[in-house]
Amino acid sequence: MSNTILGRDAYWMNFFGLMLLTLIEVAAVGADLSSAAEGFSMTERQLTLWILTVIAIPKFIMIAAIFMHLWGENDSGILTLTALFPAFFIIIMILFIGLTHPDASMGLPDWCRPGNYGL
């Protein structure tokens, strides 16, 4: 594996990158985003969820690439394909459920919705 990113140890660079993205996530949750949300014509909660989702994507890639050895190894190509193979079927399953069932997103039973777990 190429043990360096920008001339530094890959694991430490990944660690610092993940910590930076986590700091941005914590700031997004704690900050008052109401004025920014109005500019995007959405609620503050929706904007926060968009920020968290956008930040989750590079975090996923960083974790998979470095800690799961999907980048930089001699056989990383086959490892990447092996890891992504089930993802294709999961995406197809989610799309077909969402596209074929009209109440797929809004018709969930109460026990499936956040805040209604009865804990």
Mean pLDDT computed over 14-26? 93
Structure confidence at residue 10 (pLDDT)? 77
Task: Give per-residue pLDDT as tens, 73-111.
Answer: 676 667 677 777 888 888 888 777 666 666 655 665 665
Cβ burial, residue 66 (10 Å; 0-12/13-18/19+): buried
Do 28 and 22 meet the contact criterion of CB atoms below 8 Å apart? no
pLDDT band at 19; cut points 50, 70, 90: very high
DSSP 63-111: IIIIIT--SSSTTHHHHHHHHHHHHHHHHHHHHHHHHH-TTTTT---GG
Structure confidence at residue 1 (pLDDT)? 47
Mean pLDDT computed over 35-51? 86
On the question of pLDDT at 118 being above 60, the answer is: no
User: How many secondary structure helices (H) and strands (E) does the chain include?
Assistant: 4, 2
Q: Where are the domains of the chain?
A: 1-73, 75-105
- Tokens 């470095």 appear where? 66
